[in-house]
Structure 1
Amino acid sequence: MKLNIKHFIIIFWFVSFSIGAQDGTKLIAWKPIPEANGYQIQIKEKTGKVVIDKKIETPFHSIEELPSGVYLVRTAPLNLFKKPAVWSAWKDLEVIISEPPKVVIEDEKPIILPKSESKEEKTISNITIEGEHFLDATKVDLTKKEESLPILSKEVKSPERIDLKVDTTDAKTGPYDLTVTNPYQKPKVVTNFVKVEDPKHNSGTDSNDESKSSLSLTTKDNSGIKKTKVSVPKGKPFRDFTYEEMLAFLESDVAINCKNTKVPALTLSECHKTYVILNFSSEDNLSVFEFYKLISENESDRTSAYLYFSKNCSPKFRPAFERMELQWKNRINLDPDERQSLLQELTKFRSCSR
């Protein structure tokens, strides 16, 4: 169950409590218990450190002082002696910041989405949305008037990128607007973001896959957010790639004959139905795989990659260094334990000389 809070801060809490707010204050609240002589609330970090342990009179409590992060929470009604009668089970509590989403300003033509020549054959298209302040809770729609494109999956790759899989099999042709909405924020609308065309109108190539060796990325200038292209450099060592160039390489290095994994093709040795065998025969292969972990959604993978690159930093693997610096810049989105690990390894990385 998703628990809400007003004014810029959103809390997702998977328990039978509710969230409210008064005058912009962050509150955690629960259903009052008859005959209770007050309540006791405890909130602790994932490490076990208790950060809030208070006896209160009301079935709600301000958590204004809590920074973004993942916590555990429990409450208990108090008896006549002001002692906890019974504790609830510890439940997950995540505090994150919700800001107005930003989307890349499209100077180019709409992304062309093809329709299938046969209704018996489904047409699935991949779309990448770039911008800022994307959350797991970000809502995405592709609509025109009363029509909407079915979104089969939405994957928030980072606060700057969302990947969609869209079914255009039965879609009506024409342009569709993109609407991106964060909880308690005004929607961001990009008109004519995509266009569905009949097979006879498109050239047979997906304009969203403009080049197997290039990547669109977000940049800023005085006029706002814009999209530029980064190509995979030829003859350049991986360690000297920029962060954006390495992302472009990973976009192009897809294991076509191994659809059950997103691991870079360079690092694959064998592909089987339920598992793959990796190829670490060279330092390049291992470093590319560790970079793949560095941009993973899995915290353990990222933490492991921080350690790898801080230890194997002579010569520096530039794309990893730039990624870790970016992670530190956006550290408010990280768990406290990961922030600590990132700071520790990034400090070592910064002081490492070629």
Structure 2
Amino acid sequence: MKLNTKRIILFLCFVSFSIGAQDGTKLIAWKPIDDASGYQIQVKEKTGKIVIDKKIDTPYHSIEDLPSGVYLVRTAPLNLFKKPAVWSVWKDLEVIISEPPLVVTEEEKPIILPKSETKSEKTISNLTIEGEHFLDATQVDLSKKNESLPILSKEVKSAERIDIKVDTTEAKSGPYDLTVTNPYQKPKVVSNFLQVEEPKHTTLTDSKQEPSVSQKIIPKENPETKKTKVAVPKGKVFHDYTYEEMLAFLESDVAVNCKHTKVPALTLSECHKTYVILNFSSEDNHSVFEFYKLISENQSNRISAYQFFSTNCSPKFRPALERMELQSKNRSNLDPDERQSLLQELTKFRTCSR
């Protein structure tokens, strides 16, 4: 088996990119402006030619169809007459990757939020949502059926954290679902995320306490991590790793000097501010990278990896085979297209004798 050893460049901004460094929808975004009736966005080439000039309702815009190149961008909020109020200065276009958001929760039980005993007494709860792929444009909603909790403020602290203030003063009791939505992505819904409860009878001492409640969501401990921790084996070739051993290797193989990507350090050749260069100079490097895609949240990544391992199957990459066997057992969770691809490529992978 002969692999292409050319280095692959994965661009994160200014140009279109291949799968690997980040996956998702490319967009540009800016801080929303209160009372704006919409926005106008203009993108121009370095030559001065305007290639995008649109009025939109959202403080972000997809640039999936923008050809590769270097651009400048400016935006303006629209007034009541849908006219630009004031333009920002022209600046280099910076691309944000919108990926499906992930949310980590503490446990199966919902967070408990109280109601106030009287409507004149406000009950404000501070919540921290932790996860991945959060943006300034990420939308957060707490609702049940047609009832939504008022979110007084939302602050995206980082790609892994959002702080919100919720008013439960007049909320109806019961469970509420959390919905986190990134632009152009399917919403992430966490059922029964929190529970609003009627106030309990308090003593005089208790009534002097502040009505606000501060809760923080702590990442849930994976049941598998309660087992004996798997160590990265020494003197063992990657093809012979178990699935758990390969996961342990990826967890330890972090590119500490390239924080904008989660690509395994082994497979990185160079790291730049806006892109990374992959190193496929060996079969091991390529196979480890494809395994990284195999466990990705991105469906197209996984399907591509199925095809890679069923084709490049001599010798068999054991951790990939074990992972695909596991997915096959849980294939009811996959959509029909991926399920069909998995079963087809897994059959070829199992019987490979080249």
Tell me if both proteins adopt one fold, taking TM over 0.5 as the criterion.
Answer: no
Q: TM-score, normalised by structure 1?
A: 0.42
Write 1 or 2 for the structure with the bigger share of strand. 1
Q: TM-score, normalised by structure 2?
A: 0.42
